[in-house]
Amino acid sequence: MSVLSKIIADSASKSPWIYHINTGSCNGCDIELVAVLTPRYDAERFGFKLTGSPRHADIVVVSGPITTQSEERLKRTLEQVPEPKCVVSLGSCPQSGNVFKGSYSIEGPLEKYVHVDVTVAGCTPKPEAVIEGLYKAAGILKKKREAMKK
Amino acid sequence: MIVLTTILQILIFPGFLFASFIGLLLAGIDRKVLARMQHRIGPPIIQPMYDFFKLCGKETIVPAAANRHVYMLAPWASLCSLIVMCLFIPVGGLTFFSGNADLIIIIYLLTIPAVCLIIGGSSSGSPYAAVGISREMVTMIAYELPLIIVFLAIARVVGRGELVFSIKTVAEYQIANGALVSHIALIPAAIAFLLIIPAEVGTQPFDTAEAETEICEGPLVEYSGKPLALFKLNSSLKMFIMSALFTTLFIGVVYTGNVIADVVIFVAICCLVTIICMTLVHAVTARLKIEHLFKFYWTVVAGIALVSLILVWAGL
Amino acid sequence: MMFPYLPLAIRNFFTRPSTVQFPKVPVEAKKNYRGWLAYDPEKCVNCGMCIKVCSPSAITRTVEPVEGGEKITYEFNMTSCTFCATCVDFCSTKAIHMTENYHMVSEDPKDLVTVGSRIKETKNKNKKLTCGDACVFCTLCAKNCPEEAITVDRAEKKWEVDHSACVKCGICVEKCPKKCLSFEEPAEEKLTCGDDCVFCTLCAKNCPQDAITVDRAEKKWEVDHSACVKCGICVDKCPKKCLSFQ
């Protein structure tokens, strides 16, 4: 069965499905994320696909500072994603709140809720930087899958 | 010996392995050609195989509100019916199951995967799935009518005045009289069948029921891991079966004497059918609303098929 | 039913795709792209303007005393930066500039910072801000001072600076329309005799260095500044209290 598990582990990095959560973002980073799927940058050649349900996803991309209203929904959505999963924080908002730091409705960095695997900084990051971040996340998925097998 | 041959036929050729391999390949070609039409590079052709294996490796989470047994068994039931359907289709001129009422059995077998999707979706206990399954039911009712009319027309032509539903007779008729699609009376039936294929398979613009970002993937919303892998495989298998049915019924079998060459030509014609009726339509249209879909199938497509039926009954 | 994109779809199938294959083909950002920040600690004068204007508070300054002065470290956190380049505009010595590097991807957010430090030596502390005679009390220097160390009273024509708050950034020197501000070594204090002197020669008699010469008849008082050690004995002994160090 080791050939089969090797095939499964390789496929984990070749077909990463993305689910995007917007926790109060200004939408700049969201626009750059869907721009990555347009013909000019075409992330689909690496197998990336946006799915409609968190249960189908491998990589969860979070943008936006975590607002009070979206905190509960973020926690529930993150629980629904099956293992192995990778969390990517897009932009500088999930890391530190950017200009919204210290506001009464910002709940704080994403690190409080889940371990962030890849950080893509920028306000907003260039689509090429987003592709680099997603590519790195796909590589981490393969390692997690191999670790899961053991 | 017969048992061993049958098991090999079921599992390898043209059963599970062959059909799923070709089905995944067709799905990959569909995605690649769609990408090229949209002026981008697109995934590699074996991408659906990577998707399948990746989904096999994911954790399966069964929601608390779901009925566990139905949830896990629904994809297996539809896989079984699809494999049985594969055995009816003469791939490369070799027929495995043949009887007197093949086409009628195929009509019933074709409803099982859609019903299994409905059952699986309703067992997961999600409101998104509820919306998805009601749309799937409407879609099924919409395309069944033109399908039955097309099969009736074919049966009448092949039976020369009587109704003969055997695929073997269809194949022999085509060897003797040329491809069915060259009969003037059956051209509308071929067009109607080409329009039914995307609704059966569930690709745009007729995928209002499933795989939609509006209702979070419809009936499949709570599926993950191996059951989801099986559902995606079923979708690819259906792609293969529908294009193979079209090839068998309308274009006929090309005999070159060599079995392997026959199979390759058969698969190539399936690819062409897929590109014309699924990819091209996907690339240039947007998704339809469910009421428009129903109206389209029961007026336009059924009308085209009826034209064919009337012409056939009139003796043309 | 119209399908306006059908000929386009078929034509696109046969032409080359317009994808830029990014990781294989390196892509450069356009000119003037505001990417990863670069900081030159040697040019920095520690005025703190960048910290004041940074809206997401992405810049932090730490000062540690080391041998010979202070070590001032500025840290620019790219995971908090909004890339507005306001700090670049406000830096008076152009120590900050934005590079065109957009590859800010990492598994550890601590990699995404720019840090620079310099050691500020204490001997420079001797230079003090002085205002010349051409001052018209326009108050421009006081308004532009980031530390609010200058106080200018226009009505009473008074110009004062708080030397402990002044960080010697030089903004006031640039802003002054009369160019009368400058940093100078403070002049050494010299012994001076006021107008009340009656030439009693008590200071000359008590000077241990014999630095003072007093001529009673010609009413002349002179001091040899090179010999004077500023002990202050003459200041104590003078009956008219007209001697002082200025």
Q: What percent of chain B has pLDDT over 90?
A: 48
Count of structural domains, chain B: 1
> What are the pLDDT digits (tens) for B80-128?
999 888 888 887 666 677 778 888 999 999 999 999 999 998 998 888 8
Q: What percent of chain A has pLDDT over 70?
A: 99
ipTM (interface predicted TM): 0.92
Domain C127-184 falls in which CATH fold?
Alpha-Beta Plaits (3.30.70)
Q: Which of B261, B265, B240 is nearest to B252 (CA)?
A: B265
Put simply, whether A143 touches C (Cβ < 8 Å) is no
Residue type, B145: L
**B-chain residues within 8 Å CB-CB of C13?**
33, 36-37
For residue B206, pLDDT beyond 60: yes
For residue C124, pLDDT beyond 60: no
Contacts of B310 (CB under 8 A, 6+ apart): none
CATH 3.30.70.20 in chain C is located at 127-184, 191-245
* CA–CA dist C243, C201 (Å, integer): 12
In the stretch 46-85 of chain C, residues with CB closer than 8 A to chain A read 55-58, 77-83
Extents of the domains making up chain A: 2-149
The tokens for B286 are 């947007």
- Backbone dihedral angles phi then psi of residue B253, each to the nearest 5 degrees: -100, 135
Put simply, whether A86 touches B (Cβ < 8 Å) is no
**A-chain residues within 8 Å CB-CB of C77?**
96
Put simply, whether A150 touches B (Cβ < 8 Å) is no
Q: Which of B86, B106, B110 is nearest to B22 (CA)?
A: B86
Domain, as residue range, for B104 = 2-313
For residue C123, pLDDT beyond 60: no
Scanning every residue of chain A, which has its alpha carbon at the shortest distance from the alpha carbon of C35?
A: A122
Task: State the average pLDDT over residues B15-40.
Answer: 92
Which chains reach chain B with 3 or more Cβ–Cβ distances below 8 angstroms? Answer: A, C
Torsion of CA B275, B277, B279, B284, to 10 degrees: 130
Q: Quickly state the pLDDT bin for B305 (edges 50, 70, 90).
A: very high
> What are the pLDDT digits (tens) for C174-189?
788 888 888 777 666 7
Q: Quickly state the pLDDT bin for B169 (edges 50, 70, 90).
A: confident
* CA–CA dist C139, C145 (Å, integer): 10
Q: Do A125 and C104 touch (CB under 8 A)?
A: yes
Put simply, whether B64 touches A (Cβ < 8 Å) is no
Put simply, whether C18 touches A (Cβ < 8 Å) is yes
Q: Quickly state the pLDDT bin for C1 (edges 50, 70, 90).
A: low
Scanning every residue of chain A, which has its alpha carbon at the shortest distance from the alpha carbon of B32?
A: A45
> What are the pLDDT digits (tens) for B65-90?
888 899 999 999 999 999 888 888 88
Smallest Cα distance from C26 to chain B, Å: 17
> What are the pLDDT digits (tens) for C211-236?
888 888 888 888 887 777 777 778 88
Put simply, whether A118 touches C (Cβ < 8 Å) is yes
Domain C191-245 falls in which CATH fold?
Alpha-Beta Plaits (3.30.70)
Measure CB to CB from residue C56 to each of A41, A99, A133 and give the nearest one: A99
* CA–CA dist C53, C91 (Å, integer): 10
With 0-12 / 13-18 / 19 or more C-beta atoms within 10 angstroms meaning exposed / middle / buried, residue B200 is buried
Is the domain defined by A2-149 classed in CATH 3.40.50.2000?
no
Task: State the average pLDDT over residues B216-238.
Answer: 90
> What are the pLDDT digits (tens) for C65-95?
887 778 889 999 999 999 999 999 988 888 8
Q: Which of A23, A20, A116, A17 is nearest to A73 (CA)?
A: A23
- Output the CATH code of domain C30-123: 3.30.70.3270
